[in-house]
Amino acid sequence: MAGAVSQPNVTYAAPKRRSALAMFCLAQPLGAVSGVAILIMLFGGVFADFVAPYDPLTIDFGAMLAPPSWEHWMGTDAFGRDIFSRVIYGARTALTIGFFASLFGCVSGAMIGVASAYFGGRVDMVVQRFIDVMLSFPIIVLALVVVAMLGRNLLGGIDINLVFAIAIPIVPKVARVVRSAALSIREMPYIDAARAAGFGHMRIILRHMVPNVAAPFLIMFTAFIAQAILLEASLSFLGLGVTEPTPAWGLMLSGNASDFYREAPWMILFPGLAISVAVFAFNLFGDSLRDWLDPKFKV
Amino acid sequence: MVTQETIDAERARLGLDRPLGVQFADWMVGLVTLDLGKSMWTDRPVTEEIGLRLELTMQVAIMATIFAVLIAIPLGTISALFKDTWVDYAVRLITIAGLAVPSFWLGMIIILALLYWFNWLPPITYTPIYVDPVANISQLIWPALAVGYRYSAVVARMVRSSIVEVMKEDYIRTARAKGVFEKLVVARHAMRNALLPAITVIGLEFAFLIGGLVVTEQVFNLNGLGKLFVQAVSRNDFTLIQAIVMLIAVVFIVTNLIVDLLYALFDPRIRLGGK
Amino acid sequence: MNQNHLSFGRRQFLQTTALAAATAGLGLYDASPASAQAAPKRGGNFTFAISAETPHYDAHGSDTFATLHFGAPFYSTLLQFNLADYPKVKGDLAASWDVAADLMTYTFKLTPNVTFHDGTALTSADVKATYDRMRNPPTGVVSTRQATFIDIDAIETPDPLTVVFKMKNPNPAMLEHFASPWNWIYAAKDLAANPNGPRTAINGTGPFRFGEHVRGSHITGARNDKYFRQGRPYLDGFRGVFMTQPAAMMNALQGGQVLAEFRGISPAERDRLVQVMGDRVRIEESSWTLNLMVVFNTEKKPFDDVRVRRALHLAIDRRAGAQGLARTATLRDAGGLIRPGSPFAMKDEDLLKVPGFGRDIAAARNEARRLLREAGVPNLTFVLHNRNLAQPYTPAGIFLVDQWRQIGVNVEHRQSETSPYLAGMSSGNFDVAVDFSNLFMDEPSLALAKYLSFNKAPENRSRAIDAEMDRLYAAQSRERDFQKRFDLIRQFEKRALDQAYQVPLLWWHRIVPTHRTVMGWQMSPSHNLGQDLADVWLNT
């Protein structure tokens, strides 16, 4: 029976895919533009090794503080490193951390939210009070507390603890929204039916409840990538995120970058623009996705 | 040279050698008696460390709020009234950009622009507003603007969407049908109801600013709570971290209370419902 | 005054200082240092920036300039360095002094009628109590000067204005130690009341009285009208503003909210100020008695292997680094173990022949790759432990990562706040680290102490034990003939660079910006010296 419910969904989605994309573009032109911007960033980040004209770490004292030119589109920094290349590799840093932090935050948040709604009663009460507490802090404060507690832990070039620090403030927000979506589903007859059929909690949550909160989940996932990128930039700017010489937008703005505001204003201009454009694109895309998928839904 | 004995002695002095439960109980007792302990870095009472900085951060947050309200309400209203026209699109673009531009970057640009064009900078040491209002405002207005942009963007979006909602309501249609002037409709009926959700957002954002000024305070070298918090984090000063986190929670609760009271003030249903 | 032990070097010292003064005078931008003599004016309040905030007020237990830059105006020391004739010393509280020929007795006569800010008269008992606290701190008191004064056997006070130091061993650098800026004289009665009192309360004999300290913001001082030097200080008061963000500090200097910063700024910051402020700003430059080093933890594999250490040492192109980094970082000279330009330093033409300091970097890198292959770690990966200060640590880290990448070594750069950074260094919890040696004079016995075996010098972060280096060190410290000592130091240096437990990276370069109106301040090769502000005045 479970199969009967979910099967049509899958087969329904597959053939309609292309036209769904076209419809999205028509209905949400701004969303489509931002989607393209995201794709460009994604492409740059993934294929940075081929796209970037220079190695982002190699120092070239001969080309220090060079203004934007055909050789260096966005100029160079105080070490003669090509800013355009560093912005491209910075996209890789931002998107990797943003993606994993948002993914981790949204998945754990969604699981907590769905479980809380499904079990209800005392479990729900306790979980919700805990979430209340977490929601009363600005995300950057939560992230800083996590940074203070965990320190650093690099794995394959990514600071896992930094990803945690950025993901954890996302968890309660997602949990709260997903819970309310799941609450309404819990009252649906098919959940009762599944329970009556003797399915386990895990199975009901995963097979019946989770797929039905997928829309708000997807919207939040996109929106929180924007938040995560901004948060990573802030932490790096404070010297508590990624460290030199890793190319990262927030880091490129920190230290003495602003000392060169007369000599080399491009040093603070382009990384700041990169952050703004990335956050702007993900926000806009999330917005459009929401309008398109679920007009009633509000993050 | 740091020996193990020195480390042990230091742990004992800071009370870190006791079981976690005991440490927590001790802290809770301290909290009730308003004794939050001493900073592990400066060895001074944390209340003293915080007291000084709170005033500044509060003021920046308040100024940013005023700025946000002054900008956001007209902007959001115009956007809603001219929904789906170029005015609306322009406003939405401005507001969504406000959510995207990092406040600290905007702050940097503001400072450098002041230097570049006016060769002038705001004062660097904090003067309380009751001592010298001019020096005070000329120092704090810039960070308030830098964070206020994002703040006003959030509020303007909320104002716009709630006015759009309200304008669909029956009583607005009725008022219009009765031939009431459009301006009056908006002023009398729509605004009052539309502003309620905006108050919630303003309250939330205000509470978040107390901690959220973290990065902007660095840019402007403001001796505020956020800067203190970053220092505490990078020095692993846990007593101070705990106290600031606690304070932020308290501000959040108090702000929420005030928002609830304002709701009652603005919304007759809540005010009268209590009777 | 008897200074036999230094006579061998005085001529060289004078030559060097003259040279330094000449280059500082050329100063790139400015020919009139802040110390230029004109008729000083009295009055005015002087605001300057301090780029770090001290955790407490006690210089005896501090190693950071942050304590000195705000506290030095409140206190006096026995002797001071004479910055007009560095590295000679002059009296501060001591009106005169006498050194026995065998260097076993130092007798100081104190200036009469000196009072502490609370009105207590200064006597020899205060000096004794101060030095006893430093060399033998009571429990609960932290003194980082214990090792410095370990050679003192006893302190006697025959009368209220005479202090006699009896030594256990002769120490050629003792007079300089008495002039060290950290040895603030505290009142004996304050120490008796609370040995840790100076951590939180200020009572000195210096030119200024403590005003207020607003944490995170600023510290103020007001003129001490009863200061023992006639007519000093000139200023009515001062305000030190804590500015930990370099960018904010630059803005404040440019905008005139602060008139000086005395630790030192980067060349990029200098250029920016000069460009915008023109002749409203005065720039003074000097080589700095500070050295950045690369330290290998010899207790960790593969850094116990001299081939690995040498390979990493050889891969660093110090010549290119010195040129490139000097434009934006506070680093300047490639040099050996002793500050380049000072009497005992290796001559630059000799330095060029030392592996790792030469011009042929390609050959050095080939050699480095060969050594790594030989040691069986051609694709070495490790973490570089560094401090998270913008100058010059971050640029040094970025530079090193780039240099090592060029021989195929993959480095993760990890930067920490000062206290966890130092904790990691002293506990040996690191692979490779950027270390620093913070000196206030060029005396080789002081400068080379960091390279002694770990069991003799805990500040040797490489944790290496090397009896040969200890032997050479002892030999040079006893040697009184300049040339022989010079040669012994070369042997020591060669051993140090061959073994490469820890190697010099680049020496710092100090650039101090002051507004043109600030007069009477003296530039020196150490940011720890000359900060009591007694002679500073404002030409407005």
Q: What is the pLDDT of residues B189-209, one digit of tens each?
A: 667 777 777 888 888 888 888
Domain C287-509 has CATH 3.10.105.10: yes
What's the pLDDT score for residue C35? 57
Q: How confident is the model at residue A73 (pLDDT cuts 50, 70, 90)?
A: confident
Mean pLDDT of the A77-105 span: 89
Instruction: Note whether A59 contacts C405, CB cutoff 8 Å.
Output: no
> Which amino acid would we find at residue B266?
F
Give me chain B's average pLDDT, please: 78
Nearest-Cα residue of chain A relative to residue B216: A234
Q: Which chain B residues are Cβ-neighbours of A287 within 8 angstroms? A: 96
Residue B30's contacts (CB-CB under 8 Å, 6 or more residues apart) are B36, B37
What's the pLDDT score for residue A45? 84
Given a cut of 50, whether residue A8 has pLDDT beyond it is no
Given a cut of 80, whether residue B119 has pLDDT beyond it is no
Task: Flag whether the pTM goes above 0.80.
Answer: no
Nearest-Cα residue of chain B relative to residue A277: B100
Mean pLDDT of the B93-122 span: 84
3-state SS class at C504: strand
Residue B22 domain-assigned (yes or no) = no
Q: Does B112 touch chain A (CB under 8 A)?
A: yes
Instruction: Note whether B235 contacts C217, CB cutoff 8 Å.
Output: no
- Cα C368 from Cα C380, distance rounded (Å): 12
CA distance A132 to chain C (A): 32
Q: Cβ–Cβ contacts within 10 Å for residue C406, how many?
A: 16
Q: Give the residue, A72 or C128, on which the prediction is more confident.
A: C128
Give the CATH number of the domain where residue B253 resides: 1.10.3720.10
Instruction: Note whether A234 contacts B214, CB cutoff 8 Å.
Output: yes
CA distance B243 to chain C (A): 17
Instruction: Note whether A279 contacts B99, CB cutoff 8 Å.
Output: yes
- Cα A273 from Cα A285, distance rounded (Å): 18
What's the pLDDT score for residue C14? 36
Given a cut of 70, whether residue A291 has pLDDT beyond it is yes
What's the pLDDT score for residue C34? 58
Given a cut of 70, whether residue B244 has pLDDT beyond it is yes
Say if residue A298 is exposed, middle or buried (CB neighbours under 10 Å; 0-12, 13-18, 19+). Answer: exposed
Nearest-Cα residue of chain C relative to residue B224: C216
Given a cut of 60, whether residue A2 has pLDDT beyond it is no
> Which amino acid would we find at residue C141?
V
Residue C15's contacts (CB-CB under 8 Å, 6 or more residues apart) are none
Q: Which chain A residues are Cβ-neighbours of C325 within 8 angstroms? A: 61
- Structural domain of B65: 52-157+183-270
Give CA separation, C347 vs C350, C447, C504, in Å: 5, 17, 15
The pLDDT tens digits for A128-146 are: 888 888 888 888 888 888 8
Q: Which of A209, A274, A269, A226 is nearest to A248 (CA)?
A: A274
CB-closest option in C199, C218, C427 to B2: C427
Nearest-Cα residue of chain B relative to residue C258: B124
What's the pLDDT score for residue C249? 84
Residue C403's contacts (CB-CB under 8 Å, 6 or more residues apart) are C315, C316, C317, C321
Q: Does B270 touch chain A (CB under 8 A)?
A: no
Helical pair A170-186 and A83-119, crossing angle rounded to 10 deg: 40
Given a cut of 80, whether residue A294 has pLDDT beyond it is no
* Low-confidence winner among A198-207, B78-87, C50-59, C65-74 (lowest mean pLDDT): A198-207
Say if residue B144 is exposed, middle or buried (CB neighbours under 10 Å; 0-12, 13-18, 19+). Answer: buried
The alpha-helical segments, DSSP class H, found in C202-305 are 246-255, 267-277
CB-closest option in B111, B223, B236 to C217: B223
Given a cut of 80, whether residue B176 has pLDDT beyond it is no
Q: How confident is the model at residue B269 (pLDDT cuts 50, 70, 90)?
A: low
Q: Does A131 touch chain B (CB under 8 A)?
A: no
Give CA separation, A123 vs A117, A177, A183, A188, C208, in Å: 9, 17, 14, 20, 64
What's the pLDDT score for residue C236? 94
Domain borders along chain C are 287-509
Helical pair B133-167 and B191-212, crossing angle rounded to 10 deg: 140
What's the pLDDT score for residue C239? 93
- Cα C218 from Cα B124, distance rounded (Å): 10
What's the pLDDT score for residue C235? 93
Q: Which chain B residues are Cβ-neighbours of C51 within 8 angstroms? A: none
What's the pLDDT score for residue C88? 84
What's the pLDDT score for residue B10? 63
CB-closest option in A137, A240, A265 to B248: A137
Q: Which chain A residues are Cβ-neighbours of C415 within 8 angstroms? A: 239, 243-244
What's the pLDDT score for residue C261? 93
List domains and CATH numbers for chain A: 28-55+69-294 (1.10.3720.10)
Instruction: Note whether C276 contacts B119, CB cutoff 8 Å.
Output: yes
- Cα C388 from Cα C420, distance rounded (Å): 10
- Indicate the pairing of strand C94-99 with strand C79-81: unpaired
Residue B237 domain-assigned (yes or no) = yes
- Cα B4 from Cα A291, distance rounded (Å): 61
State the virtual CA torsion across A41, A44, A48, A51 in degrees, nearest 10: -150
Angle in degrees, CA A100, A102, A108, rounded to 5: 95
Q: Give the residue, A23 or C335, on which the prediction is more confident.
A: C335
CB-closest option in C247, C327, C388 to A258: C247
What's the pLDDT score for residue B3? 55
The pLDDT tens digits for C359-405 are: 888 888 999 999 999 988 888 999 999 987 777 888 899 999 999 99
Instruction: Note whether B112 contacts A136, CB cutoff 8 Å.
Output: no
Q: How confident is the model at residue A154 (pLDDT cuts 50, 70, 90)?
A: low
CA distance C249 to chain B (A): 8
CB-closest option in B49, B125, B236 to C241: B125
The pLDDT tens digits for A229-263 are: 988 888 888 877 787 888 888 888 886 676 676 67
Tell me which residues of chain C have a pLDDT lower than 70: 1-38
Mean pLDDT of the B60-87 span: 87
Bridge partners of C166, per DSSP, are C105, C154
Query: Are B56 and B126 in contact, with CB atoms under 8 Å apart?
Result: yes
Domain count of the fold of chain B: 1
Instruction: Note whether B214 contacts A240, CB cutoff 8 Å.
Output: no
> φ and ψ at C283, to 5 degrees?
-115, 125
CB-closest option in A145, A240, A276 to B100: A276
Q: Which chain B residues are Cβ-neighbours of A141 within 8 angstroms? A: 211-212, 214, 229, 245, 248
